């Protein structure tokens, strides 16, 4: 028989809140949507480019020069642009087994330390990205001539927004609020949800 004081076999369920529940989340929601839609658009383009290149090369014998370089550019930008959303939603990797055995007080202190450290780190990285932009205004990629400031601009926007998200999480920890947010369309349906009954009720 398992002792009540032993660690649970399953990780703790993350506490999340609707992205419009708190005032600070409502303020940031339009910016979050910009990052979310932009990252999805860049990801879709990145996935489509190799397919288009194969079709043009194998069927029409007219490959486009520089598609590989553009795909790498899209990959870099998609990672940067998706980072704030990953942090805000709590989708980053955590050591759930360690979190599960920590007492509540120690866990709260760890959350405060983590959020403060992350906010500071990303703020420093944002400043470093800005300095890098100023130092590379005349540099570009060799094939397509894509300016380096576009890559670094995506990093600057990403690190700045991620620093803001970490600062918001620090504020939420201090106020004992759920750290992570979900968009309304991402919420799990209730356990007794019946899709067929829902469809029949709409007919």
pLDDT in tens, 124-168: 999 999 999 999 989 998 888 999 999 899 999 999 999 999 999
Separation between Cα atoms, residue 199 and residue 202, nearest integer Å: 5
Provide the residue range defining the domain that includes 124: 16-94+101-184
Do the domain assignments include residue 189? no
pLDDT in tens, 74-85: 999 999 999 999
Do the domain assignments include residue 135? yes
Instruction: Report the 10 Å Cβ neighbour count for 152.
Output: 23
Q: What's the pTM?
A: 0.79
How high is the mean pLDDT of the chain?
84
Name residues whose C-beta falls within 8 Å of residue 197's C-beta, 6 or more positions apart in sequence: none
Q: Which residues of 97-117 are buried (b: 16+ CB within 10 A; e: fewer)?
A: eeeeeeeeeebeeebeebbee
- pLDDT score of 25: 87
Do the domain assignments include residue 196? no
pLDDT interval class at 23 (50, 70, 90): confident
Do the domain assignments include residue 4? no
- pLDDT score of 2: 44
Do the domain assignments include residue 66? yes
Do the domain assignments include residue 198? no
Do the domain assignments include residue 5? no
pLDDT in tens, 61-112: 888 888 889 999 999 999 999 999 999 988 888 777 777 788 988 989 999 9
pLDDT interval class at 16 (50, 70, 90): low
Which has the higher per-residue pLDDT, 87 or 196? 87
Name residues whose C-beta falls within 8 Å of residue 189's C-beta, 6 or more positions apart in sequence: none
Separation between Cα atoms, residue 21 and residue 36, nearest integer Å: 19
Number of structural domains, the chain? 1
Closest by CA position to 143, among listed 72, 40, 52: 72
Do the domain assignments include residue 201? no
Query: Does the pLDDT at position 1 exceed 60?
Result: no
Closest by CA position to 114, among listed 67, 180, 33, 62: 180
């Amino acid at each position: 028989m398992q002792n009540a004081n032993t660690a649970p076999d399953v990780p703790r369920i993350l506490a999340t809140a609707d992205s419009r529940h708190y005032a600070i989340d409502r303020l940031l929601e339009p910016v979050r949507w910009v990052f979310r839609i932009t990252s999805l658009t860049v990801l879709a383009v990145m996935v489509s480019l190799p397919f288009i290149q194969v079709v043009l090369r194998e069927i029409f014998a007219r490959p486009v020069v520089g598609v590989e370089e553009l795909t790498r550019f899209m990959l870099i930008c998609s990672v940067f642009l998706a980072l704030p959303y990953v942090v805000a939603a709590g989708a980053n990797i955590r050591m759930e087994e360690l979190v599960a055995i920590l007492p509540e007080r120690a866990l709260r202190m760890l959350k405060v330390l983590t959020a403060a450290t992350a906010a500071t780190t990303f703020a420093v990285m944002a400043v470093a990205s800005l300095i890098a932009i100023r130092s590379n205004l005349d540099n570009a990629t060799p094939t397509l001539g894509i300016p380096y400031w576009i890559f670094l601009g995506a990093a600057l926007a990403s690190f700045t927004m991620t620093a803001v998200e970490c600062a918001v999480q620090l504020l939420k920890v201090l106020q004992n609020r759920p750290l992570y947010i979900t968009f309304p369309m991402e919420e799990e349906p209730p356990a007794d949800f019946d899709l067929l009954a829902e469809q029949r009720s709409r007919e």
